């Protein structure tokens, strides 16, 4: 584990997002592990703000992947919850997205595990009472 942070209020998410981008300037693949409704998409929106996205972002639950333009690149936001097999990941060209050099934020990442390069970060979010606990892991589930 690289770090563990407790968030008491949603207003603290932007600062945590900023810290993560500053701490990992060369990382482009971020995997988000959390139960339904814990705040994966909300936190990804905050990271995207730090990176310069001004567009309204939404969960790609039905589209599987949403794309957002940055000044020097793109963000690909995946939600693999509805993906049923590893082959579906290949069919959508996920390996090409992951090797594009652009940011890839992936919710429900387990099904595509063989595709992830070594150089990625896992962000695990859990709840304890009304608090959110963010664990930053270096490439481990």
Q: Give CA–CA dist 12/60, Å, rounded.
A: 24
| Ordered alpha helix ranges (H), 24-139 | 40-51, 86-91, 94-98
Which pLDDT does position 55 carry in this prediction? 84
| Topology adopted by domain 3-134 | Rossmann fold (3.40.50)
Domain boundaries, the chain: 3-134
What SS3 state is found at 60?
coil
| Ordered alpha helix ranges (H), the chain | 13-23, 40-51, 86-91, 94-98
Q: Give CA–CA dist 63/19, Å, rounded.
A: 29
Contact 132, 12 (CB under 8 A): no
| pLDDT above 70: residue 140 | no
Q: What is the mean pLDDT of residues 104-120?
A: 95
Q: How sure is the predictor about 1, in pLDDT bands with cuts at 50, 70 and 90?
A: low
**Of 68, 46, 66, 60, which Cα lies nearest the Cα of 108?**
60
Contact 121, 136 (CB under 8 A): yes
How confident is the prediction for the chain on average, in pLDDT?
A: 92
Which pLDDT does position 60 carry in this prediction? 82
């Amino acid at each position: 584990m690289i770090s563990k942070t407790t968030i008491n209020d949603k207003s603290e998410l932007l600062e945590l997002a900023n810290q993560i981008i500053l701490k990992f300037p060369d990382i482009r693949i971020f995997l988000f592990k959390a139960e339904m409704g814990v705040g994966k998409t909300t936190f990804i929106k905050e990271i995207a703000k730090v990176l310069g996205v001004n567009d309204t972002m939404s969960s790609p639950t039905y589209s599987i992947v949403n794309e957002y333009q940055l000044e020097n690149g793109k963000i690909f936001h995946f939600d693999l919850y509805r993906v049923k097999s590893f082959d579906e990941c290949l069919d959508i060209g996920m390996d090409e997205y992951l090797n594009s050099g652009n940011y890839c934020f992936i919710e429900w990442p387990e099904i595509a595990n063989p595709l992830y390069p070594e150089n990625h970060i896992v962000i695990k979010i859990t709840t304890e009472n009304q608090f959110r606990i963010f664990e930053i892991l270096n490439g481990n589930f």
